[in-house]
Amino acid sequence: MKKLNYSMRYMMLCFFFVLVCVIYTARLINIQISGQDYYSSGYSGTFVRKVSISAERGEIFDRNGIALVVNEYSQNIILDYGTMPYTNASKNALISKAIGIIKANGDEDNLKETNFPVKGVYPDFYFDEEFFSVPSKVSRFNRILKDHELSENITCEAFMSHFLRYYGLTDKKGNNIYDGEDLYDILARRYDMDYMRFSAETPYTLAENVDISLITSLKESILEGVETDTSSVRKYCFPGYASHILGRIGKIPAAKVDEYVEKGYSLDAYVGISGVEAAFEEYLRGQDGVKVIIEDEYGYIIDEYIEKEPVAGQDVYLTIDINLQIVTEYALHNNIDYIVESALSSGVPLSGEDAKAGAMSVLEVGTGDVLALASYPTYDLSTFNADYSDLVANTSSPLLNRALNGMYTPGSTFKIATAAAALSEGLVSATQKINDTGKYEYFSDYQPACWIYNRYGFGHGYQTVVEAIQNSCNYYFFEVGRLLTIEKLTEYCQKFGLGEKTGIELGETAGVLDSPEYREKSGSEPWQVGDVLQVAIGQGKSMFSPLQLSSYISTFISGERRSTHILSSVQQYGTNVITYEQESKLLDTVNISAYNRSVILGAMKDVVESGSAASVFSNYDITVGGKTGTAQVNENKSANAIFTGFAPFDNPEIVVSIVIEQGNSGTTASRAVRDVFDYYFSLGSFSPENQTDADPIEEIIRLHAELKEKTKNTAASTQPDNDDVADE
């Protein structure tokens, strides 16, 4: 029996020994072969890893090849996932030492801002309200809470307690291992690394745009896991100009992470967020490369090579002329200042003293090329992040691109469409007269009056279509609008593109063309038969953007509605090799006879020569055409001022439209349009002949500053023009 027991014990020991050997062998195989997520064995004693090489983003130029947005290179300090220590204690020590060196070197301002939701100093921590005001940050915050099985209603105290413990920043008794600011810095970085999904494919940026002295200090300290990386940031060649057009880049929005990941983007990639940067992301984006690094068992690099070369994005050339863009922005701003100063000096209430915003568009006739888009107030892309809170809080909405998304009642500028429809349909002739008696009494229950009747108590008398446009006679257009019917008027307006998107590649609002169909779809008050009268004079619920106004007038002039566009061409990075050229699309044609068109264009010439805009264009060097408009907002605000003009008259090249919110008079709004004509046609203050050898952009700014000062000095003795009409 004893012999049997010894045999059983012997067999059990042998079995246990074999089992242990199998387990260790399996574990060894797993570690060396299948258990490596990041490293792979190259040959005995070495490991191979791959890192991404960021591709250059394409740059942005204007129509003349002037650089608008370029890449500027900087050195960054990053944490590398592959060479970082494994344990919490080692990671925390590394981060603490790296941040200490950065601060000691005087580069604390270069530390990348964290996405940490807590502010304060131990033990007085609190949730940061600014953090939770950003939806994308809240979304990622909730994702992390879910990963940690924490409630979305967690208190700040519970949040801090959990993550201090999770990241190994407290000992077994719950005491903090680090003190004060050091504790907060490490915790914020560890959390931000998870927030940014720090991984083998996504290094973590610790400090940005650092100098060689800091890089040297860090290398001398031999911090394993801390490396340098070269990256490029966007440099804006004309800070503060064309901001609404160019747009900005940023981290992938939380709501679009899956979409971009499917396209091959890394989670920390920068993408176009707005403007040109977003609209042409597919061209501007480059393809990242791959670098293979071979290290020995101690982490020293013994070889590295490029497995896949990065491919730079393509350069985008716009239809914008940056010189003209700057002039347009200055002209708009100065025009608003002029209106405010004139109103204040006049002492007349609601005469423009509340003007503070507006927009302009400059469109090339017949091509759809957008030459300039100005929106005021504006902002500076180069300081966008620092200014963001103030920009969002600003009640004047500087982030709104009013040229594309500002919706404005067109006022009398709409009468061009009404006149074109009435003449084309044969309801009136060029010589036929309609008697403006003041009050329009066709309907018994709705009897609007002409502006002149409301102001002086009498009508314009007999008016031809030319005189009605020149005098902006509401009564005339009440009558032809009724004769046209809303159905026929809508048909023509749609051909002009009113209430339709212009086709520009940037985000734009379609606007509203008031009609029974619109009322029904929008759920607003039911259409009444007399509403056609207000639509015919550009009132009612119709609202359009400044670019839409320019497109509409350009369509009337050429007889073709073409899509507007801001992209000129796409070229290989840093070369003149064109890979794509943009062309406008023919969207519609408008059947207006050459005679009827000439009649209306002649009326628009009369507006600037002897009508409401004559005081601004008196004795002008070239013949132009245009139409003023004034649209009431409410009884507590000055009216909006609108003007749309084209030049030269005999062979129109450009159409310029402007809307100044609370600008009071379309006449005064035409001043900015004249300034644009001055520069474009080399006239007046903006003639190239007046420029010195200085940078032409700087010279334009200097000339504008002089003009603004001159205007300011004479404002007290200058009354605002009252030739324009108030479209009631």
Could you state, in order of their start, the residue ranges of all structural domains in the chain?
2-35, 322-717
Instruction: Name residue 283's amino acid.
Output: Y
- In this structure, what is the dihedral angle of CA atoms 90, 93, 95, 101, given to the nearest 10 degrees? -140
CA dist 549 and 528 (Å) reads 26
**Taking the model in full, what pTM does it have?**
0.78
Nearest Cα to 497, choosing from 588, 632, 381?
A: 588
135-170 exposure pattern, b = at least 16 Cβ within 10 A, e = fewer = ebbeebbeeebeeeeeeeebeeeebbeebbeebbbb
Higher pLDDT, 269 or 184: 184
Q: Would you state the pLDDT for residue 449?
A: 95
The H or E element that residue 212 is part of is helix 212-220
Q: Average pLDDT of 216-222?
A: 85
CA dist 49 and 38 (Å) reads 6
Top CATH class of 322-717 equals: alpha beta
User: Has residue 700 got a pLDDT over 70?
Assistant: no
Higher pLDDT, 261 or 285: 285
CA dist 271 and 261 (Å) reads 12
Mean pLDDT value across the chain? 88
User: Has residue 711 got a pLDDT over 70?
Assistant: no
Nearest Cα to 365, choosing from 562, 660, 612?
A: 562
Q: Would you state the pLDDT for residue 725?
A: 44
CA dist 16 and 458 (Å) reads 114
User: Has residue 485 got a pLDDT over 80?
Assistant: yes
Joined tokens for residue 677: 């004509």
Cα distances from 550 to residues 139, 220, 424, 535, 556, in angstroms, run 41, 62, 21, 19, 10
For residue 693, what pLDDT band results from cuts at 50, 70 and 90? very low
Cβ–Cβ contacts within 10 Å for residue 352, how many? 26
Instruction: Name residue 144's amino acid.
Output: I
Joined tokens for residue 679: 């520069």
Q: Would you state the pLDDT for residue 23?
A: 60
Answer for the pair 95, 190: CB distance below 8 angstroms, yes or no: yes
CA dist 7 and 722 (Å) reads 119
Answer for the pair 398, 391: CB distance below 8 angstroms, yes or no: yes
Answer for the pair 565, 404: CB distance below 8 angstroms, yes or no: no
**Bridge-partner residues for 289, per DSSP?**
53
Handedness of CA 311, 317, 318, 320 (dihedral sign): positive
Please write the tens of the pLDDT for every residue from 113-159: 999 999 988 888 999 999 998 887 898 899 999 999 999 999 999 99
What would you report as the CA-atom Rg of the chain, rounded to the nearest whole angstrom? Answer: 34
Which residues lie closer than 8 Å to 338 by C-beta, 6 or more apart?
Answer: 668, 671, 711, 715
Strands (E), 365-442: 370-376, 434-436
589-594 long-range contacts (CB < 8 A, ≥24 apart) are: 589/495, 589/559, 589/560, 589/561, 590/420, 590/492, 590/495, 590/496, 590/555, 590/556, 590/559, 590/560, 590/561, 591/424, 591/559, 592/420, 592/423, 592/424, 592/556, 592/559, 593/424
Please write the tens of the pLDDT for every residue from 171-182: 988 899 998 889
Answer for the pair 434, 443: CB distance below 8 angstroms, yes or no: no
Q: Would you state the pLDDT for residue 61?
A: 97
Cα distances from 699 to residues 355, 391, 688, in angstroms, run 27, 29, 9
Q: Would you state the pLDDT for residue 267?
A: 74
For residue 300, what pLDDT band results from cuts at 50, 70 and 90? low
Answer for the pair 357, 641: CB distance below 8 angstroms, yes or no: no
**Bridge-partner residues for 291, per DSSP?**
51, 306
Q: Would you state the pLDDT for residue 233?
A: 83
User: Has residue 484 got a pLDDT over 50?
Assistant: yes
Opening angle at CA 708, ends 703 and 713, nearest 5: 130
705-718 exposure pattern, b = at least 16 Cβ within 10 A, e = fewer = eebbeebeeebeee
User: Has residue 232 got a pLDDT over 50?
Assistant: yes
Answer for the pair 435, 462: CB distance below 8 angstroms, yes or no: yes
Please write the tens of the pLDDT for every residue from 67-92: 999 998 888 899 988 788 889 999 99
User: Has residue 503 got a pLDDT over 90?
Assistant: yes
Answer for the pair 470, 610: CB distance below 8 angstroms, yes or no: yes
Please write the tens of the pLDDT for every residue from 578-628: 999 998 999 999 999 999 999 999 999 999 999 999 999 988 999 999 999
CA dist 325 and 66 (Å) reads 12
In angstroms, how far is CA 326 from the centroid of its own chain? 17
CA dist 588 and 497 (Å) reads 8
Backbone angles phi, psi at 431, to 5 degrees: -100, -10
Answer for the pair 653, 365: CB distance below 8 angstroms, yes or no: yes
Could you identify the residue written with the tokens 């990622």?
Answer: 140
Q: Average pLDDT of 262-283?
A: 89
Please write the tens of the pLDDT for every residue from 513-522: 999 999 999 9
Answer for the pair 644, 360: CB distance below 8 angstroms, yes or no: no
User: Has residue 687 got a pLDDT over 80?
Assistant: no
For residue 224, what pLDDT band results from cuts at 50, 70 and 90? confident
**Bridge-partner residues for 602, per DSSP?**
none
Please write the tens of the pLDDT for every residue from 345-395: 999 999 999 999 999 999 999 999 999 999 999 999 999 988 988 999 999
Q: Count the helices and strands in the chain (H runs, E runs).
A: 25, 24
User: Has residue 32 got a pLDDT over 60?
Assistant: no
CA dist 118 and 587 (Å) reads 53
Burial of 384 (0-12, 13-18, 19+ CB in 10 A): middle
Q: What percent of the chain has pLDDT over 90?
A: 67
* Max mean pLDDT range (129-138, 226-235, 437-446): 437-446
Answer for the pair 61, 70: CB distance below 8 angstroms, yes or no: no
User: Has residue 691 got a pLDDT over 50?
Assistant: no
Burial of 130 (0-12, 13-18, 19+ CB in 10 A): exposed
Q: Would you state the pLDDT for residue 386?
A: 84
For residue 325, what pLDDT band results from cuts at 50, 70 and 90? very high
**Interstrand relation of 315-318 and 60-61 (parallel, antiparallel or unpaired):** parallel
Question: For the residues of 442-501, what is the DSSP string, one character each?
Answer: SSSS---B-HHHHHHSS--EEE-HHHHHHHT-HHHHHHHHHHH-HHHHHHHHHHTTTTS-
CA dist 639 and 582 (Å) reads 39
Answer for the pair 227, 217: CB distance below 8 angstroms, yes or no: no
Nearest Cα to 607, choosing from 472, 459, 477, 436?
A: 472
CA dist 627 and 320 (Å) reads 25
Could you identify the residue written with the tokens 């064309």?
Answer: 242
